[in-house]
Amino acid sequence: MTLIEQSATELLGLLKRREVSSRELTGAYLDQIDAHDQQIHAFLRTDRDRALQQADLIDRRRAQGESLGSLGGLPVAVKDVLCTRGAVTSCASKMLENYVPPYDATPIARLKEADAVILGKTNMDEFAMGGSCENSAFGPTRNPWDTERIPGGSSGGAAASLAASMTPLSIGTDTGGSIRQPASHCGVVGLKPTYGRVSRYGLIAFASSLDAVGPLARTAEDVALLLGVIAGHDARDSTSIVQPVGDYRAATRRPLEGLRLGVVSEHFGEGLDPEVAQTVRDAIDLFKDLGATVREIAMPHSQYAISAYYIIAPSEASSNLARYDGAHYGMRAPEAEWRDGGAEENPLVQMYRSTRAEGFGAEVKRRIMLGTYALSAGYYDAYYLKALKVRRLIAQDYHDAFEQVDLIVGPVTPSPAFKLGDKSEDPLSMYLVDLYTVGANLAGIPAISLPCGFSSDRLPIGIQLQGAALSEELLLQAAGAYQGQTTWHSQRPELA
């Protein structure tokens, strides 16, 4: 295994023993990015000088015997939805193409405090709306396992950068599956934490009641390491959880005993690719070998999850995205291009209209229209309020399930990665791939995606574990135990 292919925890050991410097390590990842990112396009931006400067500073402090933060010189890639002070944060949108935030998002500030080196900002679907990374205004990311295929979305760059050994750690966000789906398609681990476990301060909002920031990496232990850094209470996010953060890394090494797993039979029914179904079943059998018991559980409202999600998420998005008006920040259409809506029209309205027409991509506009419609007088009760009631029922299903089992296990996505362009003309088919992931966001619970095998085309397949609120330690314990018995996570694609 080459240096850049090692796990973050192994690399941390090398850094601590001074067998490698942060500069060497950071340089090696930047070289890998230079060599392969033309093809993959996992990154929207890197800043070699700034990253190497950060690394040098950390190396110097280590040489002087200073005690360093828990990431002590490890490089991290960050999804371009999190504000980074002094560095462009575009959300993969033309609207924010030149936006330079004056502050760091809390997860970024915590990375810096932990002495991580920020490698760059990763590609994503515009404003995190999408499941394939094709909605980036700056071109799609490609799956390192097959560059004709999507990496999953919306944190496609985050997952692809890991699969292509361009970083040992990545930060993503998950509103309806955007950490877990790309993790599954790229053969890496991704954890969506409990709502409120990681601060949303400085996260560019998509759907505020669903948005979660979380870690992606190649092993459960690395995910645990990163979660331990970014999790924890933050007074700047009013939904932030006060409870102390667990010892996630220790959890990944704890032996698994008497784990009670629940399976939702409808999740193995219509629409699930047979290879995915078989691979996930095999993984469940391995959990049985590790002493787990498996039982069927009922989730009677899970069939309504997609419908509820695609009312609630666009509704919140339509409100959150109202701020991009060409006046506050972000782009403004040049005056010469303002579209005239009629003789009497106020130029301010012309400016709004032209800026939003030009600045947003097609999917973002679709969400704004769906959301505005669902929230409008007369439809509010029929759509938005109804969706909120369904959301409550789904949360109740989970609550009941977790009285009987510790974790719910099943697929992450209905099929392995599809080809670029396959679903672009059909938004509904794109929305349906979120079938297994949106429930966790609606209920606010944590969930993890783990590599559990490959399709006959050698595309990665993931398994999802979902747990009750604040069960991150248990999820990571199960993930660690599974990875102790399997090698799926240590396989790498061959890059051209």
Residues that bind ligand GLN (CB under 6 A): 128-131, 154, 174-178, 206, 313, 434
Q: Which two tokens stand for residue 337?
A: 């291009």
Give catalytic residues, as residue numbers. 79, 154, 178
Are the C-beta atoms of 42 and 143 separated by less than 8 Å?
A: no
- For ligand GLN, give the closer residue by CB, 205 or 245: 205
Q: Which two tokens stand for residue 104?
A: 């760091």
- For ligand GLN, give the closer residue by CB, 1 or 369: 369
Provide the minimum distance between the beta carbon of 477 and ligand GLN in the complex, in angstroms, as a whole number.
25
- For ligand GLN, give the closer residue by CB, 162 or 370: 370
Provide the minimum distance between the beta carbon of 377 and ligand GLN in the complex, in angstroms, as a whole number.
25
Cα separation, 259 vs 344, in Å, equals: 68
Cα separation, 376 vs 390, in Å, equals: 19
- For ligand GLN, give the closer residue by CB, 141 or 178: 178
Are the C-beta atoms of 191 and 448 separated by less than 8 Å?
A: yes
- For ligand GLN, give the closer residue by CB, 204 or 476: 204
Provide the minimum distance between the beta carbon of 434 and ligand GLN in the complex, in angstroms, as a whole number.
5
Question: Phi and psi (nearest 5°) for 90?
Answer: -100, -15
Cα separation, 125 vs 393, in Å, equals: 29
Provide the minimum distance between the beta carbon of 23 and ligand GLN in the complex, in angstroms, as a whole number.
34
Cα separation, 247 vs 251, in Å, equals: 6
Provide the minimum distance between the beta carbon of 211 and ligand GLN in the complex, in angstroms, as a whole number.
8
Are the C-beta atoms of 107 and 193 separated by less than 8 Å?
A: no
| DSSP codes joined into one string, 166-230 | S-SEEEEEESSSTTHHHHHHHT-EEEEPPTTSB--TTBPPSSTTT-EEEEEESSHHHHHHHHHHH
Residue 93 CB burial class (10 angstroms; 0-12, 13-18, ≥19): buried
CA 125 to chain centre: 11
Of the chain, the end-to-end C-alpha distance in Å amounts to 18
- For ligand GLN, give the closer residue by CB, 145 or 309: 309
Cα separation, 214 vs 44, in Å, equals: 19
Provide the minimum distance between the beta carbon of 431 and ligand GLN in the complex, in angstroms, as a whole number.
7
- For ligand GLN, give the closer residue by CB, 69 or 427: 427
SS3 call for 379 = coil
Provide the minimum distance between the beta carbon of 174 and ligand GLN in the complex, in angstroms, as a whole number.
5
